[in-house]
Amino acid sequence: MELNEYQNSDELRHDQQKSDGGEQEVSKPERDGKSAAPVRGIWSPFISFILPGLSILLSLVVLSTVVILFSQHFREVKMPDANFKPHHSQLKSNVTRLSEEVRSLLAEHKSQMSKQKENPPQVQCPDQWRRFQQNCYYFSLVTKNYTDAQRSCTSMHANLVVINSAEEKVFLQHWTHKGSHWIGLSDSISEGDWRWVDGTDYASSVKFWSPNEPNNRYNVEDCAELLVYGEWNDAPCNFHRYWICEKSA
Ligand code: MAN
Ligand code: CA
């Protein structure tokens, strides 16, 4: 048969197979697509069964790897290993040490606060005034009668001194060696009814009368003076004396 007598490509292929001795079973795909069916036949079990199987297997491997990794991670977090224990005890001792430090600082702060309460920060007294405890004292350089002396004190926002303790008496007598000084005590309203100028209760407060004083000599002594040795005498209020003013610091 001549080549040009072949009716179609199938016939041509058949002829070629015969001439090759029938060894080549698979022929090349034809351009017209009529011979695609044998190719699908070979690959179809792979596509239908093996590929999905491999996909499932791969998915299982990935999933189990993720599960294993996660479980390892959570085991590490929940169950600390031996290395964690020293770390934990170190933290515990640090917390204990810090607590002790805080306690000691609080105690120190408390003690400083109470010290500050006992000795509040010093406030300056005005020029020519002397400080004792929480008060400022003015020792006059001239003499006046009792009424003018008290007026002088009030003009400086003070009063004639009120003596409340033996300590204050000692402080005052240290600065009064040059003569007698008026203090803020008198019974001019009513004889024998001694009153402190600031209203301090006379009956319950300390008294430093000199022996046999107050004697109201000649019945004209209604004002108290501080003698050079620190004790008191009642004297006529019109006498001229030095005086002491007192006000809060
Ligand atoms: C003496 C005493 C006092 C009196 C004065 C008056 O020192 O009698 O009691 O007050 O004199 O200057
Ligand atoms: Ca007297």
- Of 20-34, 78-92, 99-113, the poorest mean pLDDT is in 20-34
For residue 217, report the distance from its CA to the centre of ligand 1, in Å.
7
Residue nearest to atom 5 of ligand 1 (CA): 235
List the one residue out of 225, 164, 152, 158 whose CA is nearest residue 200.
Answer: 164
| Atom of ligand 1 at shortest range from CA of 212 | 9
Asked whether the whole model's pTM tops 0.85, one would answer no
Residues 210 and 152: their CA atoms lie apart, in Å, by 26
Q: Ligand 1: distance of its center to the CA of 139 in Å?
A: 22
Per-chain mean pLDDT for the chain: 80
Q: Which of 59-68, 73-82, 155-164 has the lowest mean pLDDT?
A: 73-82
Q: What confidence tens digit (pLDDT) does each residue in 81-100 have?
A: 555 565 778 888 888 998 99
CATH topology of domain 129-248: Mannose-Binding Protein A; Chain A (3.10.100)
> Most confidently modeled of 95-99, 106-110, 236-240?
236-240
- The pair of structure tokens assigned to 58 is 């791969």
Distance 229 CA to ligand 1 centre (A): 15
For residue 9, how far is the Cα from the chain centroid? Answer: 99
Nearest ligand to the CA atom of 180: 1
Average pLDDT over residues 137-160: 98
The domain locations on the chain are 1-121, 129-248
Rounded Cα distance, 104 and 110, in Å: 10
pLDDT confidence of residue 54: 73
Residue 108 has pLDDT above 70, yes or no: yes
* pLDDT of 2 strictly over 80: no
Any idea which of 42-46, 161-165, 166-170, 209-213 has the lowest mean pLDDT? 42-46
Q: What is the pLDDT of residue 245?
A: 98
Taking CA atoms only, the protein residue closest to ligand 1 atom 10 is: 235
Q: Is the pLDDT of residue 40 over 80?
A: no
DSSP string over 206-226:
---BPTT----GGG---EEEE
